[in-house]
A and B are shown apart, each in its own frame.
Chain A
Amino acid sequence: MLDGQMYPFLADGDFEWNADRTEITFKIKSAAKWNDGTPVTAEDVAYTWATHVKYNTPTGSANTPYIENIEAVDAQTVVIKAKLGEDGKAVNPLLVEAYLSTNYVIQKAWTEVLEERVAGDPTALLADPAEDVAYSGAYGKYFADDTKVVYIRNEEYWGQDASMWGKLPAPKYLAHVIFKDNAAGTTALQAGEVDVSQQFNSNVQDFWLEQGLPISTYLPEAPYGIGASLPTAFFNLNSPGLDQAAVRKAIAIAVDYPTIIANAMTNQSATFDQVPRSLMNPTDGEQALYDHDAVADLQWAGNDIEGAKALLDEAGVVDSDGDGWREYNGEKLSYVATCPNGWSDWQAAIEVVAAAGKEIGIEITTNYPEWSVYQTVVTKSDAPLPEEGYDIFMMWSDGAGPTQPWGRIRKLLSSEFIGMPSNWNGNWGQYSNPDADALINAIPAETDEAKLKEMYTELVNIYLTEVPSFTLMYRPQSFHTVNESVWTNFPHADDGTNPPVPPLDLTDGWSIAGLYNLTLVNP
């Protein structure tokens, strides 16, 4: 959820750590049923884990370094045993917790059917379309082709239990229509053919201000949604000159962020005046995790041309041959800023970054390779990035989630990803700082809130001083624009729901609660 908390849904109450923080215990709700009528049990949870390990699925290989085993104590009670380090403590308690909210429970009986069908072949197991899968959610598959996927409500859904909502969610069918580009999706939203749009609609406010359509966003005013991820420009720290923090920071503070936010995001991002830059996303939960005053001097909102020039002059990076461009070690500072071709909002942002270079005497040109090439180059972290073409490049960072902001910070700053031939984690600029690494390693085991805040503040301090990368805008977890000509009461900020229904697609986890609030405009 966007407040950084986990809300139990299949689980009966919150999970609990034991005193040593080596085991998590939680119970499954006794009302919880599969669509075949059988109860969801602790054994299902344990068997799901055992299957992940047995077949070395992505989930399995991702979690075995942190989770020793998942066991069913009785029909309802599950114990997760954390993998312990040499010091007898859990290797990473935070990632053990995260397993709870980021993985599906798969029915044991169905898994056994699947195993028989694929005869124990791991590749076939993962590639199985699972048309017959047992599900514990409110909807199951009804129809799918290349143009749409339709779900139908399970009339026996256990949400009808008195301990839950006592009724079924309102819509009988959920249709996910597949559009081939954003323009087609926007047109359909305007025509009322789409109720919930999760794509980027540029100038979304025009729908209600100019066209008078019954369309709205989670927040009534800009930025219209809650930022969760931080699209980021990374520096190639091996490029001549970019190994200097002064040069990196000068470029970062000179960039015209208001223009990026106005053009690339049509104001669907908070500005850096509203949410000063750190390593946190704009949600209240994350913002509370660092000491704002302690790093206020280091934060920048952009367009600081004079400041950038002063920083470069001070560092001795000056234009000594009078050609208008600064030199470092006698070499003209000339960089290429890049992002994948066709990612139009990123391209717009990269153009603004390049424009800032000219203002401060650093030549920055732009280049946009195809994604298939771009991703191969950027994620190859077992060798330095190429000398040309990838000096300043855009990638994403983590959104909201149970491991955040720790997960995001790790992926922006941790040196552990250097050396990976296929690095889909982060720190693509290959920044290395032992102090940052030590803090990142220590946070997951830390439970003292004051201490945590201190550690996070120190990481923000390092990030804003060293500038190995810099955030260009804030971006929502998913865009959330609704057309209320058919259904109404979609999640909006301060709509009175408790806990608040997040602006997600109403089908995942707690956001399913939003489906109970929907009512027809013309019943």
Chain B
Amino acid sequence: MKSYLKYFLNKFGWFAITFVFAFLLNFILPRLMPGDPVAAIVARFAQGMSNTSGVQAIYEQYTELFGTDKPLLEQFFIYVRNVVRGDFGFSFSQYPRTVADVIRTSIWWTIALQFPAIIVGWIIGNTLGALAAYLKGGFDKILMPVSIFVSNFPAFGMAIILMVIFGVNLKWFPTSGGYGFDLIPNFSWDFIKSVIIHYQLPFWSIVIIAIGGQAIGMRSMSIYELNADYVKYSRFMGIKDSKIVGYVFRNAMLPQVTGLALSVGTMVGGALVAEIVFSYPGLGTTLLRAVLGQDYPLISASTLIITVMVLLANFIIEILYGFIDPRIKAAQSD
């Protein structure tokens, strides 16, 4: 257990260092973009304003409020101090909303859409991939080309095809929104039903693409494992097929688990395409607009969440690896 603690501390140290650098980059990179975000806010207030000094006064007022006139180093320390207090400040692009408020209202839609989609896509994809490798023959011959085709499909293409077929033509599902255009959120069956119906097209547009990619990866891994010496040896030993498949699956899983961790970590970035095509609420379009509008506080806060999620997911996976695969722990603690 002592070696495991060492392994754990070692990992933790590296993640802490990574976090510090990621945090720095999250702050600096958006601010290196050319352009002046305060000008965009001034533009909003200055519409219809016709005196020149008035516009200038507003500009200076907001430059001061957002601190964009201060040296970058000073801005950084103010940022760190505020973040430690949990205060991400005002959003530039949606001023006077706060960053916390912007993220709070959209993040649940994103998690509710992305997390199940990633898990379902991962499970179905891996099952199909493993089956294809094991069953071979006709199943594999059909699944492989279909998977390659689907996984390389551009996400917006898939979303639009689903929308045109099932939304516009068949009218089975609505084409936009997170719930009915004629409803407001409440605890009624009508509303819940509406949410579920609106969920389907964005959900499947993500899942279908994910299945293809996962299936291809899992199939290759499984084929590799099926031809490994230990499988052949086990067969000679007369071990039951189901037992062997168990071993194979566990070994082939490892890289797939890493992929899953990364997907879960980055999911907060949002399902941009699904959100745009289906006008689905979520963080993806918010983040896109933040980037285009140079909304530093919102970009930094969002990327910080993504950074933390990715690091956390990876950290958990690394720790789990120690349990799943003793070889890794052994190698790391040497």
Residues of A that sit less than 8 Å from B by CB:
56, 58, 61-66, 95, 102, 123, 126-129, 142-143, 145-148, 150, 175, 177-181, 183-184, 187-188, 191, 193-194, 370-373, 375-376, 379, 401, 403, 407, 410-411, 416-417, 420-425
Contact = CB atoms under 8 A, between A and B. Distances in A.
Contacts of A66: 51
Nearest to A180: B279
B181 A422 contact: no
Contacts of B54: 58, 61-65
B185 interface: yes
14 contacts: A58-B54, A61-B57, A63-B51, A65-B51, A147-B177, A148-B177, A180-B276, A187-B175, A191-B168, A372-B36, A411-B50, A420-B52, A424-B43, A425-B50
A66 B54 CA distance: 12
Contact of B49 (A181, A421, A424): A424
B53 A61 contact: yes
A194 B176 CA distance: 12
A375 B39 CA distance: 8
Contact of B182 (A56, A128, A175, A411): A175
Contacts of A175: 181-182
B95 A127 contact: yes
B281 A147 contact: yes
Nearest to A183: B277
B35 A370 contact: yes
Interface string B46-63: 111111111111110100
Contact of A425 (B37, B55, B65, B90): B55
Contacts of A370: 35, 292
A375 B46 CA distance: 14
B176 A188 contact: yes
A23 B104 CA distance: 49
B290 to A, nearest CB: 11
Contact of A424 (B55, B57, B109, B280): B55
B150 interface: no
Nearest to B52: A420
Chain B interface residue number, banded: 35 or more
Contacts of A375: 35-36, 39-40, 43
A146 B181 contact: no
A373 B33 CA distance: 9
A180 B285 contact: yes
B40 A181 contact: no
Given A146-B281, A147-B281, A187-B175, A421 B56 contact: yes
A187 B166 CA distance: 13
Contacts of A146: 105-106, 109, 281
Given A180-B276, A187-B175, A370-B35, A424 B46 contact: yes
B279 A372 contact: no
Nearest to A66: B51
Contacts of B167: 187
B79 to A, nearest CB: 18
B40 A403 contact: no
A63 B281 CA distance: 39
A107 to B, nearest CB: 20
B86 interface: no
Given A145-B185, A180-B276, A65 B53 contact: yes
A490 to B, nearest CB: 18
A179 B55 CA distance: 31
B42 interface: yes
Contacts of A416: 52
A372 B293 contact: yes
Interface string B103-138: 001100100000000000000000000000000000
B326 interface: no
Nearest to A187: B175
B58 A61 contact: yes
Most buried by B among A102, A150, A416, A424: A424
B96 interface: yes
Contact of B59 (A177, A411, A421): A421
B300 interface: no
A438 to B, nearest CB: 18
Contacts of B90: 127
B297 interface: no
Contacts of A129: 96
